[in-house]
Amino acid sequence: MGMIGGSMDAFIGAVHRRAAALDGEIELVCGAFSSNPEKSKATGKALFIDPERVYGSFDEMIEKEKLLPEDQRMDFVSIVTPNHVHFAPAKAALENGFHVIIDKPLAFSVAEAKALQKVVDKTGLILALTHTYTGYPLVKEARQMVKSGKLGKIRKVYVEYPQGWLSTFVERSGNKQASWRTDPSKSGAGGAIGDIGTHAANLAEYITGSNITEINAMLNIVVKGRKLDDDSSMLVKFENGASGVLLATQVAAGEENNLNIRVYGEKGGLEWRQEEPNTLVAKWLDKPKEIIRTGSGYLSDVAKLNTRTPSGHPEGYLEAFANIYLAFARAVRAYKPGKRIDPEKFDFPDVADGVRGMAFVDAVIKSSNSNKKWTQIKG
Amino acid sequence: MGMIGGSMDAFIGAVHRRAAALDGEIELVCGAFSSNPEKSKATGKALFIDPERVYGSFDEMIEKEKLLPEDQRMDFVSIVTPNHVHFAPAKAALENGFHVIIDKPLAFSVAEAKALQKVVDKTGLILALTHTYTGYPLVKEARQMVKSGKLGKIRKVYVEYPQGWLSTFVERSGNKQASWRTDPSKSGAGGAIGDIGTHAANLAEYITGSNITEINAMLNIVVKGRKLDDDSSMLVKFENGASGVLLATQVAAGEENNLNIRVYGEKGGLEWRQEEPNTLVAKWLDKPKEIIRTGSGYLSDVAKLNTRTPSGHPEGYLEAFANIYLAFARAVRAYKPGKRIDPEKFDFPDVADGVRGMAFVDAVIKSSNSNKKWTQIKG
Amino acid sequence: MGMIGGSMDAFIGAVHRRAAALDGEIELVCGAFSSNPEKSKATGKALFIDPERVYGSFDEMIEKEKLLPEDQRMDFVSIVTPNHVHFAPAKAALENGFHVIIDKPLAFSVAEAKALQKVVDKTGLILALTHTYTGYPLVKEARQMVKSGKLGKIRKVYVEYPQGWLSTFVERSGNKQASWRTDPSKSGAGGAIGDIGTHAANLAEYITGSNITEINAMLNIVVKGRKLDDDSSMLVKFENGASGVLLATQVAAGEENNLNIRVYGEKGGLEWRQEEPNTLVAKWLDKPKEIIRTGSGYLSDVAKLNTRTPSGHPEGYLEAFANIYLAFARAVRAYKPGKRIDPEKFDFPDVADGVRGMAFVDAVIKSSNSNKKWTQIKG
Amino acid sequence: MGMIGGSMDAFIGAVHRRAAALDGEIELVCGAFSSNPEKSKATGKALFIDPERVYGSFDEMIEKEKLLPEDQRMDFVSIVTPNHVHFAPAKAALENGFHVIIDKPLAFSVAEAKALQKVVDKTGLILALTHTYTGYPLVKEARQMVKSGKLGKIRKVYVEYPQGWLSTFVERSGNKQASWRTDPSKSGAGGAIGDIGTHAANLAEYITGSNITEINAMLNIVVKGRKLDDDSSMLVKFENGASGVLLATQVAAGEENNLNIRVYGEKGGLEWRQEEPNTLVAKWLDKPKEIIRTGSGYLSDVAKLNTRTPSGHPEGYLEAFANIYLAFARAVRAYKPGKRIDPEKFDFPDVADGVRGMAFVDAVIKSSNSNKKWTQIKG
């Protein structure tokens, strides 16, 4: 693996590196960690990487790695730059024969996302998108439960992603994470809706196995002076006839990273909260609620496959992240030119999810600006 | 106290009687428990009431009680009939000099509600509406915390009322509660939105001290064949500039009576869940979340006044209900013709809350039928 | 009902009155609320009691009530005085033909308790002891689950009663509750062990249906200057072969009234916590944990019989208390001289539980003073 | 790092490997994964290890690695074999100049443990013991809170470690984990008490900063036919005057890995549960309970140092484990012959903790067999 972005002071780069390292199946062999060559070098050194393979730019990395013998060069790139530097390196990597794993959102705009989808289609290579939260074993269990029909036809979906860290004007006081995420030139057209709303939408669609088709949205800039939305809520309709509510806000003061979802069908419901991810509560019409726990013997195969420790030994965010890396790495290993991988066997978010995410952001902004009640998502 | 409605097989009548009895300050002395005189008599007997004061109709009760000496006759009536039999007995009682406590909703329609408000205004008598949930001590504490400015200006309000008991077509199989609640001729124009949505709206307005001014709503009939909405969700805007989400549904399979609210201001947030009502969680920007508990020494006076036991001795639904009865009874005792009671001193929902509730239901139905995004509540 | 003790500034008197009033089946008709006649009168007035039936002493009350016609006089007495004034009024009431309901502990000493048991046996009248916590519907459900064999043979029992209110020397600063409870001349030989340890033991025995036979105990006086134990912990053995731990402490700073129990059998376990009494968690070897909830349709008949509201409408401490009063009152109503009542039908703690509680306290003190590991309870 | 034990089908070997890999500071370069050379080779291959450095025995590994140039050979060994194969490889490694990290318990017996302590003392090398649970950031926070005096003098400690997986006779049906853990020839004299009781004791001593000095214990073999204790409970006294209860059982049917601890001082208490390790509840005498959360800005430096992700991104068991590996690896890197490392700077359990653990098991067995109430731990 070669990494693009992720110098020492970035948050998400270290997360990707740990997720990749956890299972001992992926080795970080090179990187273009920063557009600042000194910074890139310092990062490479701290990571014990051969200085010859620490590059000053992603172009250089792709070019030089391509010249290495096949068994030495990197197999794929991991792109962990801010949103406006997603498209170019991803395109370059794919066009030069490298698979890609990329932090969400896929790109800066719907147009970029669709262009990237075409490159993936043309090259036949693998692109994974790190919508972390679908990597949790109990999210996979929830999807299986819906799929199996245990809940009956799904009627209601409530998905929420409240955070509180943008409750004050932190981008003005030098918070680096806040700065680029609230800057339209780096983040894209969506603020909270792009940063976390897409996670919420992806989670809901993954668990229900059904896409959001229409939304009725309100975007707000709650903190004065901010340039992008920091708060959103919307009514949603799903392809399968279900309806519900989606909300994503970064001004829920005192909330940490409280992504949660509740899904109700004819026979029962499910509730999952990311902050306590090893518990999934099932609710039933005529019998006691059930507490379903990560690592338990009664879980589905896919949940078990994505778990590393016995029940009662909590797994967390990094393990969920690692599940995406592991599925991607195994797909890369199984890759044969000209053959599509089986998404059931290698379960990770892909370029289509990325395009949908961008279309979702687009539609939410459109809906929020409209007096019309419902806006379709054109994905 | 004289009761109208509430024969032995009704649910809410017994709740009212227990709430009234709990503190030993209210005595049930007479009743017109059913339009069926036999049933009324049997109920009176089971309740150890003087058979002479068990009446066949509310008209008879009001007429005969009025003839009794002042120190013997009932002081007020408690009306616990289905919605379509709220207006007439309330009006009759007030016009004959009896105060009224009445189960919510106030009336069958906005018109009736406004007419009743006029009667209250004209007679100067006291009318209390049993929006139970604002009777909980920690709901009162939450209101105080908002009022005191501890949370800063309120920005977001999320209030939910999910139940699951109407997930199947139970009204067809003889569930009496379900039958009248899903019957427009008895319940009024709103189904879930009237039955429980009004509680959610009242709770949000009570805690924030601000009224909902605009809504953007979706009403659904999820269970086929049902005549009234069993599911609702809406975006809401408040007078003070806050916005949020309100949902009330009776098809969230597996949910019991899971009313809950989260309120976020500039400095922190609050979370309260009716099913564990003795805990209020406060969330803060820069310090640990706090678990505020009923009965604790650090609570506000109003919370303490509405609590009967020391902390760790859980109070519940009946105690919250009793708080409304007690505040009402003390207002009745303090009543002096021509003088308005102080709502801060005698804290219970009144006729204005009732009119607002009816206007809310009206606006939600209108919004749901409209393609326009936002509809104003005209209260 | 006539009350002995329970003047306006006492805590437990008001609890008993509310518990008695809740269901409308018991009327407080007279009282000797205080040994101070003025105080007794003031209390009676505040409670709307006929001044002629407010007495200056329990002797006077028993004597005068006995003279009233049978359909007017009190049916039973409720004794809510401190421990050292339990025996005399209970004995007097029974010997004059009045049933008795009495706050725990039964008496001041084992000797008194056994003497009272003899009076009960001789008179054939009914005595109920308000071990409140066995009044909760889910405690009754837990007992049923054990009885039914769902958990298999019981192996382990862990019961805890931590409170924090005696963490400082509050008895010195005028806390009335603390004063008598830490005074051996009023409380008896046990401090925390008598006040709350007996509740824990009673709860464990009630749920498991098996008596504690041997203990290995450590009593402590943690707060310097205190005269009675404020802290206890012990290993315990049960008649049925199970073993476990019992602890009761009043110096667990920050705890409210956190009585809780866990019981494990061959096939599964149960966990119940008094501060959230409407949830009982069942744990199983090979399937998800279950959340059993008060008011649910799937509960046992005895749990349902002891519940007043539908699921999701929380019940609390007063309702549990009222369950004991109601069962007692119905037993009193069903009473026929010379016939024993059926304890399965009228489910409340009785004189035998009271004697066991006193013997338990006695044994704990003996064990704590001994170097021998195990001490038998002689009940 | 070179690993001893940990072939593909072992549980704890993979945990150690992931913990070591997570932060990219430790590389697994060689191993003697099994006494079966074929199995060892297969494991090495699956782990992408140079076949030349996959050895057939720990002796061979130590001998051959020693011959490699200093910058190529392993820096330390990780020992993950069953208890009876701890002493020999640890001694051999140390005596040949390799630091050691070893799964708990330190050795098979107190004698072995003390002998190993002498080797450590003599060689001056570093030995870390993986008492995982003290690696959690909030356990470290709890220790800091006690140390800082926020809780006042510590009075009560309740530590529990209930599991349910040995509720049936699983060792008979081929459960490999159960087989060696219940076999005295492999596990040593303690069953549950050695396997998990030592974790509980270590956790209590780590948080309170005070050693357990005396115990009063009951060990049981609950499942018939089992050769070692599967259940224990005991009263405990600490050096600093506190007392409490410790229990460790593997027959609490339905429990997963529910290690938990509560500590109470004069001013407040703490509660931590391993299954939700990112929450630490602080309880106070006169103010609301607090929910302290991993990753929060208000935490101590040591807690922050042991955290990888922002608050709300849950960390788990592997991260706690990795904290021990990381502290150990950094100590190894900082190692200078003849100089002791600073235990405050490199915070991991060491050989002294290991010796104490063995002495604890010894004392518990002695106490359980004695009729005397209290037994001293001679550590």
Among A164-173, B340-349, C253-262, the range with the most confident prediction by mean pLDDT is C253-262
Q: Which residue has the tokens 């009542």?
A: C341
* Interatomic CA distance for residues D210 and B90, integer angstroms: 69
At CB < 8 Å, which residues of chain A contact B?
151-152, 155-156, 158, 160, 162, 164, 167-168, 216, 218, 220, 222, 231, 233-235, 243-245, 247, 249, 251-255, 262, 264-269, 282-285, 289, 370-373
Helix axes C317-334, B317-334, angle to 10 degrees: 90
Q: Which of D278, D291, D293, D311 to mutate to test the interface with B (most CBs of B within 10 A)?
A: D291
Rounded mean pLDDT, B76-104: 97
CATH number at residue A180: 3.30.360.10
CA angle D307, A79, A35 (to 5 degrees): 95
Range of the domain at A53: 2-125
Q: Which two structure tokens, joined as six digits, stand for A149?
A: 């029909």
In a domain, B229, yes or no: yes
Alpha-carbon gap: B139 to the closest alpha carbon of chain C (Å):
15
Q: Which residue has the tokens 């949205």?
A: A217
Pairing of β A260-265 and β A268-273: antiparallel
List the single residue in C281, C286, C298 with the smallest CB-CB distance to A287. C298
**Residue D377 pLDDT > 70:** yes
In a domain, D152, yes or no: yes
Co-location of A115 and A253 in the same domain: no
E strands, chain A, are 2-4, 30-32, 76-79, 99-102, 127-129, 154-162, 212-220, 231-238, 243-249, 260-265, 268-273, 279-284, 289-293, 375-376
**Residue B99 pLDDT > 70:** yes
Cis peptide bond N-terminal to C51, omega within 30: no
Which chain A residue's Cα is nearest to C298?
A287
The counts of H helices and E strands in chain A are 13, 14
Contact: D288, B298; criterion CB under 8 Å: yes
pLDDT for residue C247: 98
pLDDT tens digits for range A83-99: 999 999 999 999 999 99
pLDDT tens digits for range C18-42: 999 999 999 999 999 998 989 999 9
Co-location of B107 and B142 in the same domain: no
In a domain, B119, yes or no: yes
Q: Which two structure tokens, joined as six digits, stand for D163?
A: 């599991």
Helix axes C58-67, C87-95, angle to 10 degrees: 10
pLDDT for residue C11: 83
Q: Which two structure tokens, joined as six digits, stand for D207?
A: 């948080």
Co-location of B159 and B234 in the same domain: yes
Co-location of C75 and C220 in the same domain: no
E strands, B144-230, are 154-162, 212-220
**Residue D252 pLDDT > 90:** yes
Contact: B313, C312; criterion CB under 8 Å: no
The CA distances from residue A202 to A155, A186, A187, C144, in Å, are 18, 22, 18, 45
Number of domains in chain A: 2
Contact: B312, C17; criterion CB under 8 Å: no
Chain C environment of D283 (Cβ under 8 Å): 164, 253-255
Contact: D311, A17; criterion CB under 8 Å: no
CATH number at residue B60: 3.40.50.720
Task: Give the CA diameter of chain C.
Answer: 65
The answer to whether B164 and B249 have CB atoms below 8 angstroms apart is: no
Residues 6+ apart with CB under 8 A from C254: C164, D264, D268, D269, D282, D283, D284, D285, D289
Chain C environment of B256 (Cβ under 8 Å): 293, 295-296, 310-312
The answer to whether A258 and A163 have CB atoms below 8 angstroms apart is: yes
Co-location of D178 and D213 in the same domain: yes
What was the ipTM of the complex prediction?
0.96
Q: Neighbours of B (≥3 Cβ pairs closer than 8 A)?
A: A, C, D
**Residue A177 pLDDT > 70:** yes
pLDDT for residue D379: 67
Contact: B292, D288; criterion CB under 8 Å: yes
Pairing of β B76-79 and β B2-4: parallel
pLDDT for residue C379: 67
At CB < 8 Å, which residues of chain D contact B?
281-282, 286-293, 296-298
pLDDT for residue A166: 97
**Residue B344 pLDDT > 90:** no
List the single residue in C244, C253, C289 with the smallest CB-CB distance to D265. C253
**Residue B379 pLDDT > 70:** no
* Interatomic CA distance for residues C177 and C171, integer angstroms: 8
| AA letter at A272 | W
Percent share of chain D, pLDDT over 90 = 90
Q: Which two structure tokens, joined as six digits, stand for C76?
A: 């039973």
The answer to whether B277 and B192 have CB atoms below 8 angstroms apart is: no
Q: Which two structure tokens, joined as six digits, stand for A226?
A: 């901010």
Co-location of B165 and B266 in the same domain: yes
Question: Hey, how many other C-beta atoms are within 10 angstroms of the C-beta on A212?
Answer: 28
Cβ density class C54-87: b for 16+ within 10 Å, e for less? bbbebeebbeebeeeeeeebbbbbbbbbbbbbbb
Q: Neighbours of D (≥3 Cβ pairs closer than 8 A)?
A: A, B, C
Calculate the CA B276 to chain-centre distance: 19
**Residue D78 pLDDT > 70:** yes
In a domain, D319, yes or no: no
At CB < 8 Å, which residues of chain B contact A?
151-152, 155-156, 158, 160, 162, 164, 167-168, 216, 218, 220, 222, 231, 233-235, 243-245, 247, 249, 251-255, 262, 264-269, 282-285, 289, 370-374
Question: Hey, how many other C-beta atoms are within 10 angstroms of the C-beta on B94?
Answer: 23
Weakest mean pLDDT among B172-181, C317-326, D165-174: B172-181
Residue finishing a domain among D81, D100, D125 = D125
C-alpha radius of gyration, chain A, whole number? 20
Residue finishing a domain among A79, A99, A125 = A125
Contact: B285, A373; criterion CB under 8 Å: no
Contact: A288, C286; criterion CB under 8 Å: no
Rounded mean pLDDT, B150-175: 95
**Residue D219 pLDDT > 90:** yes
Co-location of B150 and B116 in the same domain: no
Which chain A residue's Cα is nearest to C287?
A298
Residue finishing a domain among C125, C158, C181 = C125
* Interatomic CA distance for residues B106 and B314, integer angstroms: 30
In a domain, C324, yes or no: no
DSSP class of residue C193?
Answer: I
pLDDT tens digits for range A41-77: 999 999 999 999 999 999 999 999 999 999 999 999 9
In a domain, D378, yes or no: no
Contact: C28, B24; criterion CB under 8 Å: yes
Chain D environment of B276 (Cβ under 8 Å): none
Nearest CA to C361 among C72, C104, C45? C104
Alpha-carbon gap: B25 to the closest alpha carbon of chain C (Å):
8
Co-location of B362 and B274 in the same domain: yes
pLDDT for residue D169: 94
Co-location of C201 and C226 in the same domain: yes
In a domain, A292, yes or no: yes
Rounded mean pLDDT, B81-110: 96
Question: Hey, how many other C-beta atoms are within 10 angstroms of the C-beta on D54?
Answer: 21
Weakest mean pLDDT among A122-131, A358-367, B334-343: B334-343
Alpha-carbon gap: A289 to the closest alpha carbon of chain C (Å):
5
pLDDT tens digits for range C88-134: 999 999 999 999 999 999 999 999 999 999 999 999 999 999 999 99
Q: Which of C276, C280, C291, C300 to mutate to test the interface with A (most CBs of A within 10 A)?
A: C291
**Residue C14 pLDDT > 90:** yes
Report which of residues C349 and B338 the model is more confident about. Answer: C349
The answer to whether A180 and A166 have CB atoms below 8 angstroms apart is: no
pLDDT for residue B306: 97
Percent share of chain A, pLDDT over 70 = 100
Co-location of C116 and C8 in the same domain: yes
Co-location of B108 and B36 in the same domain: yes
pLDDT for residue B174: 80
pLDDT tens digits for range A201-231: 999 999 999 999 999 999 999 999 999 999 9
* Mean of the per-residue pLDDT values of chain C: 96
Co-location of B142 and B111 in the same domain: no
List the single residue in B286, B291, B293 with the smallest CB-CB distance to D297. B286
In a domain, B59, yes or no: yes
DSSP class of residue A68?
Answer: S
DSSP class of residue A172?
Answer: G
Question: Hey, how many other C-beta atoms are within 10 angstroms of the C-beta on A285?
Answer: 16
Which chain D residue's Cα is nearest to C237?
D218
